[in-house]
Amino acid sequence: MNNIMNYTKLELENELVQLGEKKFKATQIYEWIYKHRIFSFKEMSNISNKSIEVLEKNFQFDWIKIINVEEDKLTKKFLFELTDGEHIEAVLMYHDYGLSVCVSSQVGCNMHCAFCESGRFGKKRNLEAYEIVEQILLIEKYIGQKIDSIVMMGIGEPFDNFDNVVKFITIMNEPKGIGMGSRHITVSTCGIIPKIKEFGELPFQVNLAISLHAPNNDLRSKLMPINKVYNLSKLIDEIKAYITKTGRRITIEYVMLNAVNDSKECALELANLLKGLNAYVNLIPYNETNANDFEKSKSIDMFYDTLKKQGINVTVRREFGGKISAACGQLRSKYEGDLND
DSSP state of 296: B
Largest Cα–Cα separation, the chain: 69
Which of 102, 113, 116, 328 is an active site residue?
Answer: 328
Q: With contact defined as beta carbons under 8 Å apart, do 72 and 323 qualify? A: yes
DSSP E strands, 61-174: 65-71, 75-81, 87-95, 98-102, 106-107, 125-126, 149-152
**116 belongs to the catalytic site:** no
Neighbours of 42 (CB within 10 A): 11
Specify the 3-state DSSP secondary structure of 294.
coil
Buried b (16+ CB within 10 A) or exposed e, 197-213: eebbeeeeebbbbbbbb
Q: Among 211, 117, 121, 202, which residue's Cα sits nearest to residue 158?
A: 211
Rounded to an integer, what distance in angstroms lies between the CA atom of residue 275 and that of residue 278?
A: 9
- Give the DSSP per-residue string, 252-263: EEEEEBTTTT-S
**157 belongs to the catalytic site:** no
Residue type, 224: M
Q: With contact defined as beta carbons under 8 Å apart, do 337 and 289 qualify? A: no
Which of 13, 21, 70, 89 is an active site residue?
Answer: 89
Active site residues: 89, 328
